[in-house]
Structure 1
Amino acid sequence: MRISVHVQNLKCSGCENTIVNRLTELKNIFDVEVNQEEQSVAFDYHTNHDFETAKHVLSRIGYPIVGKENKLKTKAQSYNSCAISKIKK
Structure 2
Amino acid sequence: MKTDKITIANLKCGGCETTIKKALLKIEGVSSVKIDHEKDSVNLIYDDNVDREKITNKLHALGYPEATEENGLLLQLKSYASCMLGKINNL
TM bin, normalised by shorter chain, reads over 0.9
Percent of paired sites with the same residue = 35
State the partner residue of 1:79. 80
| Counterpart code for 2:65 | P
Q: Could you give the per-residue CA deviations for residues 30-77 of structure 1, whole angstroms, max 9, x where no partner exists? A: 210000111000101224752110000000001001111111000000
Q: Say which is worse superposed, 48-57 or 64-73, in terms of deviation.
A: 48-57
Gaps of 5+ in 2: none
| Counterpart code for 1:80 | A
State the partner residue of 1:38. 39
Q: For the residues of structure 1 that align with 2:19 and 2:50, how far apart are their CA atoms?
A: 22
**3-state SS, counterpart of residue 84 of structure 1:** helix
| Counterpart code for 2:33 | V
Instruction: For 1:10-29, list aligned pairs within 5 A.
Output: 10-29=11-30
Q: For the residues of structure 2 that align with 1:62 and 1:18, how far apart are their CA atoms?
A: 11
Q: For the residues of structure 2 that align with 1:49 and 1:22, how far apart are their CA atoms?
A: 15
**RMSD after superposition:** 1.2
Q: TM-score, normalised by structure 2?
A: 0.91
Q: How many correspondences in the alignment?
A: 89
**3-state SS, counterpart of residue 45 of structure 2:** strand
